[in-house]
Amino acid sequence: MHNTRSIFQREIRGFFNSPMAYIFLVIFSIFNGYFFTSTFFLYNQSDLRSLFSIVPMVYLIFIPAISMGLIARENNIGTMETIATLPIKTPEFVLGKYFAAVVLILLGLLATVIHFITLVKFGTKIDYGALFTGYIGLALVGSMYASIGIFASSITDNQVVAFIIGVFIVLLFFLMGFFLPLVPTNLAGIVQYISVDYHYSNISRGVIDSRNIVYFLSVIGFFLIMTVQSLESRRWS
């Protein structure tokens, strides 16, 4: 765990010693704020449902953007060769990078609390149960997309290519539910289970089912393992 913590701290410092983290947090907040205030003032929808609907779509671009350089940058500038000579296991390296990305995503979510404060100021009745599960769902979706992003970053030296691959994969999971009418009936259950929106919708409605949690943890674990395997194969190639 010491190595994981060291990698994590190094990555966090890298985020905040450059404009990247600040740009992400500011633009992420602007995007969410714009869509929230649009529904708040134009449609008089004074709750957080619009926010919980918008954030997963904003994630589609922003999370691949912040994760595209996590490993691809190391490959491109040649520091992976140096890291490979250090007493750091590949899973420790991957987890340190991954946790740093997740923390940045959670900080972005924390910034959306301003919308909750706005609703309280306007005297809106808050469903705190749905609020809590909604944020749990957003954290899980963000963590899942971060695992996909770091995997995409591990299979190329080019950050732009990593971004494109990351967006493509998260879009597949995001759009899977839209494919339901097109698939045979006997496959509908499988496609629905793969869809991230199916599980997120359940959680954001206030229903925390163990099957939804298992889904997110399984996908996260799968892509982190794939990232480790990708780095190991590159190391020995």
Q: What is the pLDDT of residues 126-157, one digit of tens each?
A: 777 888 899 999 999 999 999 999 999 999 98
Residue range 26-40: mean pLDDT, rounded: 76
Residue range 53-81: mean pLDDT, rounded: 83
Q: Are 150 and 97 in contact (CB under 8 A)?
A: yes
- Residue 83 is predicted with a pLDDT of 66
Q: Which residue has the higher pLDDT, 156 or 39?
A: 156
pLDDT bin (cut points 50, 70, 90) of residue 191 is confident
pLDDT tens-digit series, residues 78-129: 666 666 666 778 899 999 999 999 999 999 998 888 877 877 776 667 777 8
Q: Which residue has the higher pLDDT, 32 or 163?
A: 163
Residue 78: which residues within 8 A CB-CB, separation 6 or more? none
- Residue 20 is predicted with a pLDDT of 79
Q: How many domains does the chain have?
A: 1
Q: Which two tokens stand for residue 200?
A: 């997120």
Residue range 27-36: mean pLDDT, rounded: 79
pLDDT tens-digit series, residues 14-23: 888 888 788 8
Q: Which domain, by its residues, includes 78?
A: 2-236
Distances (CA, A) of 50 to 32, 33, 65, 129, 144: 9, 10, 23, 16, 21
Mean pLDDT of all residues belonging to the chain: 85
Check whether 76 has a pLDDT greater than 70: no
Q: What are phi and psi of 155, to 5 degrees?
A: -105, 10
Counting residues of the chain whose pLDDT is more than 90, the rounded percentage is: 38
